[in-house]
A and B are shown apart, each in its own frame.
Chain A
Amino acid sequence: MKKFPRGLLVFVLIGFSGCLNTFYPIVTANDLVSDKNLQGEWLFENEKLIISQADKFTIEASGLRQFTDKALIVKGIDKSGIEEFRNLAFLVKIGDYFFLDMFPVFTEEEKKMDPMFRSFFLKQHSIYRVDSFQTGTVLSMQRVSDKLILEQIDQKKIRIPMITRDDGTVILAQTTELQMHIRKYASNPIFYEKDQAQSYHKSK
């Protein structure tokens, strides 16, 4: 779950492909699945992921009432115990694989920020393939990369609604179309960020 440096926006433009971020979710309320084995505390080196069922208030404040029963909260805790990020997460099975659709929500620190400043930021969905969690002891996570999709677009093999700026691309495909592409590429290792693949072990 390490973060990629994103470059310096309008000032410094360092072009590279990275993680796939989407405007629309890869999941609808009807697709949601739940598995209690995913919930708990997961460790990778000194980093911790805490996955729990999302509380009703967080969901309702986000306007996501239809997701109430199966929405998850994923908290990323760094080695010094600071909450680095907090996401709403939605588990979905697409083809043969399980994926988590992650959508940022404010950590306690982020809630202290000037709301005006925060309002300039658009939250995007990030996508992770999750494996092995059914055992209840190991959670393997691989973040979906934009590399393969951008290559396919470049080679005119696929067309996907998107917008591009100097600092990256926002995929604008709707949920059904996103699921179609994920189903197609899910087993291809190039579909994932190599250094974003991590195996967590359950601690609680």
Chain B
Amino acid sequence: MKNIFILSTLVAVMIQCSSCLNLYQPPFSENELIRNDVIVGHWRSGNTVIHIEPYSVSKIAEITNIQIGPSNENKLSDHEKDSINFSKKYVLSYTLNDAKYYYSLEMGFTGKSFFAQLMPILCLPEGQLDTESRYNAFAGDEVLSTYGIARIDYSEKNKLTLNFIDGEKIRAMILSGKAKIPHEYDEVFNNFLITADKSELNKLLYKYGDDEKIYSTKHSYHFTKTTIN
């Protein structure tokens, strides 16, 4: 019984340490997005190596083309077909425990900082093209992809900093009434979703974006550009 309690506590701590913001909408709209290819490349922070590449040349673009297929092409609007809409999108990927993780990354600016809005796309176990897992953007509908936010700084040459906003801290601020922002909270199933629209989120970032207290201590990365053979 004691072991179960300890294990439950560990699981709870692990979840709390690893929580993103869970935004339904991103804070930056298409016309607010920034393109700066200085972030493109391989970046190392300790044992963590991430790869950022433009969406158009990414593995995701390749898979997407397969997934769309000719039969669905005519369902896309002109807007969606316009490759310009992808020109400010990047794909961030990394490998962890024999699986490769892919996120979409877009950047915007508010207050004094640049921010990256990230959304998970796919987790591919090594050697597999697993597009069936419900934890990816290609399949499953009972789990919903949400946006997370990281402050991004690429002002120093060959350096890149990503500080993720800690979802648990924002959640605590909202639930205690310190931050008023539209959200849904189901206490029974411990489900929390920030439903604010783009302008409300932009204001939130403007107000709290430079407050170090909202950032995750675990998910704060200082990367140096590296070369991968």
Contact = CB atoms under 8 A, between A and B. Distances in A.
Interface string B53-78: 00100001000100110001001110
Contacts of A9: 104, 119, 121, 137, 145
Interface in B98-137: 99, 101, 103-104, 118-121, 123, 132-135, 137
Among the interface residues B4, B144, B191, which one has the most CB atoms of the partner chain A within 10 A? B144
Contacts of A141: none
Contacts of A19: 141-142
A104 B142 contact: yes
A121 B123 contact: no
Contacts of B138: 5-6, 8
B200 interface: no
A29 B197 CA distance: 33
Interface residues of B, number: 63
Interface residues of A, number: 55
B142 A11 contact: no
A61 B8 contact: yes
B146 interface: yes
A63 B189 contact: yes
A15 B5 CA distance: 45
Nearest to B4: A57
A126 to B, nearest CB: 5
Contacts of B204: none
A120 B120 contact: yes
A15 B132 contact: no
Contacts of B224: none
Interface stretch (B11-19, B38-46, B172-180, B205-213): B11-19
Contact of A110 (B15, B68, B135, B195): B135
Interface in A103-136: 103-104, 109-110, 112-126
Nearest to A111: B11
Contacts of A6: 137-141
A156 interface: no
Contacts of A120: 20, 22, 103, 118-120, 145-148
Interface string A180-198: 0000000000000000000
B119 A121 contact: no
Interface in A9-66: 9-15, 18-19, 21, 23-25, 56-57, 60-64, 66
B145 A117 contact: no
Interface stretch (A91-99, A147-155, A162-170): A162-170
15 contacts: A5-B67, A11-B89, A12-B80, A14-B68, A14-B72, A18-B141, A23-B191, A85-B140, A115-B14, A115-B17, A116-B219, A117-B103, A117-B123, A122-B143, A172-B184
Interface of B: 4, 7-8, 11-12, 14-15, 17-20, 22, 24-25, 55, 60, 64, 67-68, 72, 75-77, 80, 86, 89, 96-97, 99, 101, 103-104, 118-121, 123, 132-135, 137-148, 167, 184, 186, 188-191, 193, 195, 219
Closest 6 CB pairs of A and B: A115-B18, A120-B120, A121-B143, A122-B144, A9-B137, A119-B19
